[in-house]
Amino acid sequence: MKVRYIQNVAIISDDKYNNTDKQTIEKTVAGILNDRPDIKKILRKTTESIGEERISRFDVIYGDRSTEIEYKEAGCNFIFDINKSHFSFSLSGERRRIANEINDGEKILCLFAGVGPFPIIIARHKKVEIVAIEKNPDAFYYLLKNINNNRLIGSIKAINADVEDLFKHVEKNSFDRVIAPAPKIDKDFSSFYIDSLKKEKGKKIYLYDFCHANEIDLLKNIPWVLNVKRCGSYSPRVYRVCIEIDIGLYQMFAMLL
Ligand SMILES: C[S@@+](CC[C@H](N)C(=O)[O-])C[C@H]1O[C@@H](n2cnc3c(N)ncnc32)[C@H](O)[C@@H]1O
């Protein structure tokens, strides 16, 4: 079984879902508690992330029965129900990297905000105006709770809506940066990213996607793509990437083509 530690929570998963016998699970739990006596809860992942909301299922096999977990990152506190909302633990380095790139005074759009890791960490470290959009009402409940718990009311405007309805809530051409940790589904939201940004050089989209190694090389040759940063792996030679696009360059080339 695979074991992953998220602070004082351990998450175990089978190589193939639910094919592990009881004895192996008991042995794994005993091993975890022996190695890490600070562990408060052990969850067993029973499904992959599914659907637009990217929710996986977890059973509690040690600790109190709640699937609500607490997590700290970059000086911020998060609470969320792991069975009702998605949280990308593996993007913690990205959240810090992007928060560092942002300048005070900017206007930032965080799409697919989940329970708030991107907007909350950015708002904690920079004096910016942030709009965060999340569709799943359960994730949105925790987004509001996390904004409140981190004393960031007033810095983040949270909207419970579908990105497809974005321009019912925000003005076009008004943001300096768009951050889009999009769900792995077959829908193209690119017109929303493009239309929300000010049309000037240096205004950027950070799009998270999954790409094969060969596609990464092709993307790097596109003149308006500033960077394709690997930030995790999905399967052999398929990586999670952050594709950084300069909208000013995109517009300039679009006029020439
Ligand atoms: C991959 S998760 C990212 C969550 C969070 N940003 C993080 O990094 O942990 C994608 C999120 O987008 C939300 N979502 C999916 N489709 C959406 C849509 N059309 N409009 C708004 N939110 C959507 C899901 O509910 C989910 O919370």
Domains of the chain: 2-66 (3.30.300.110), 89-256 (3.40.50.150)
pTM: 0.94
Residue in 76, 92, 112 to alter for ligand 1 test, most ligand atoms within 8 A of Cβ: 112
**pLDDT at residue number 17:** 64
Report CA dihedral (181, 130, 134, 59) to the nearest 10 degrees.
70
**pLDDT at residue number 51:** 83
Pocket around ligand 1: residues whose beta carbon is below 6 Å from it?
Answer: 52-54, 86-88, 91, 112-114, 117-118, 133-136, 139, 162-164, 181, 183
Would the pLDDT of 213 be above 90?
yes
Question: Closest residue (by CA) to atom 14 of ligand 1?
Answer: 112
Which residue stretches of 10-157 are H helix? 22-35, 92-101, 117-125, 137-149
Which residues does residue 3 pair with via DSSP β-bridges, in sequence order? 12
pLDDT tens for 68-111 read 999 999 999 999 999 999 999 999 999 999 999 999 999 999 99
CB contact at 8 A, 130 and 102: no
pLDDT tens for 180-205 read 999 888 889 999 999 999 999 999 99
Neighbours of 45 (CB within 10 A): 20
Residue in 48, 52, 108, 144 to alter for ligand 1 test, most ligand atoms within 8 A of Cβ: 52
pLDDT tens for 119-177 read 999 999 999 999 999 999 999 999 999 999 999 999 999 999 999 999 999 999 999 99
Q: How does residue 255 score in pLDDT terms, banded at 50, 70 and 90?
A: confident
